[in-house]
């Protein structure tokens, strides 16, 4: 699967900050069972790599990737721990070289036409628009589609269940990313029914 194939598997990719590796399997089973198979584990907690490994090993239906990948060394580590794709808030020459060298699906963050063109010049045509709502959201995506119709996006940042369908209606949006599916309090309380309900609702979102 390439990055676009992965993004097209579900309308929403949960962006996950998992504070405890012991949550990994139940969380992944809950989200996948509710219809969201593509999971982004952000590398923002000390346990994140362990969470990746545990989900990869225990939940074969999950398509699990690493988020907040900031440099090539982190991308190597994430791949070593089972990441099936990578997501970054931006793109640096180091990350671009690493993405090319490893060849696995990689979604760099962009916020402008120049950044999108730079990513495409590195061979990366499926992009994360970040932070989507702050940099122009749907208006920006509509404007980019004219000159850059070959680029596809996963907008992330400030999107919720009310805004998601409006993004999903755009021709250059493959899915949206968001953290609203896993409120930190629900995650800490292991409130799987609450998370399953949010995920099931997200799985039905369409334009």
Under the criterion CB under 6 A, does residue 45 sit at the interface with ligand 3PG?
no
Among the listed residues 14, 65, 108, 178, the single contact to ligand 3PG using CB under 6 A:
178
Among the listed residues 122, 166, 179, 201, the single contact to ligand 3PG using CB under 6 A:
179
CA dihedral 10, 101, 67, 171 (to 10 degrees): -40
Which is closer to ligand 3PG, CB of 147 or CB of 165?
Answer: 165
**Catalytic-labelled residue, pool 25, 115, 128, 133:** 128
DSSP state of 156: B
CB of 97 to ligand 3PG, least distance (A): 23
Under the criterion CB under 6 A, does residue 59 sit at the interface with ligand 3PG?
no
Q: Cis ω on the peptide bond leading into residue 121 (within 30° of 0)?
A: no
Neighbours of 78 (CB within 10 A): 27
Q: How far apart are CA 67 and CA 45, in angstroms?
A: 11
Among the listed residues 3, 12, 13, 15, the single contact to ligand 3PG using CB under 6 A:
15
Q: How far apart are CA 5 and CA 91, in angstroms?
A: 21
Q: Which helix (H) or strand (E) holds 60?
A: none
**Catalytic-labelled residue, pool 40, 104, 115, 133:** 40
Q: Is the Cβ–Cβ distance between 168 and 175 less than 8 Å?
A: yes
Among the listed residues 157, 163, 172, 175, the single contact to ligand 3PG using CB under 6 A:
157
Under the criterion CB under 6 A, does residue 156 sit at the interface with ligand 3PG?
yes
**Residue in the shown chain whose Cβ atom is closest to ligand 3PG:** 179
Q: How far apart are CA 152 and CA 3, in angstroms?
A: 10
25 is catalytic: no
Q: How far apart are CA 9 and CA 56, in angstroms?
A: 17
Span 118-137, contacts to ligand 3PG by CB under 6 A: 130-131
Which is closer to ligand 3PG, CB of 131 or CB of 136?
Answer: 131
Q: Is the Cβ–Cβ distance between 129 and 111 less than 8 Å?
A: yes
Using CB under 6 A, list all residues that contact ligand 3PG. Answer: 15, 130-131, 156-159, 177-180
Show which residues are catalytic. Answer: 40, 128
């Amino acid at each position: 699967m390439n990055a676009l194939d992965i993004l097209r598997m579900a309308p929403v990719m949960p962006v996950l900050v998992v504070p405890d590796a012991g949550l990994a399997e139940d969380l992944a089973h809950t989200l996948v069972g509710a219809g969201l198979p593509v999971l982004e584990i952000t590398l923002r907690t000390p346990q994140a790599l362990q969470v990746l490994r545990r989900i990869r090993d225990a939940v074969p239906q999950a398509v699990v990737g690493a988020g907040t990948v900031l440099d090539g060394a982190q991308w190597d580590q994430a791949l070593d721990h089972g990441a099936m794709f990578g997501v970054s808030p931006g793109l640096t020459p180091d990350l671009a070289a690493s993405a090319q060298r490893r060849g696995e699906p990689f979604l760099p963050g962009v916020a402008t036409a120049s950044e999108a063109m730079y990513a495409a010049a590195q061979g990366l045509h499926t992009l994360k628009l970040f932070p989507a709502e702050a940099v122009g959201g749907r208006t920006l995506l509509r404007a980019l589609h004219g000159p850059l119709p070959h680029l596809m996006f996963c907008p992330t940042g400030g999107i919720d269940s009310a805004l998601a369908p409006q993004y999903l209606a755009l021709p250059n949006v493959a899915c949206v990313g968001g953290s609203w599916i896993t409120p930190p309090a629900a995650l800490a309380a292991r409130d799987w029914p609450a998370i399953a309900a949010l995920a099931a609702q997200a799985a039905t979102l369409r334009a």
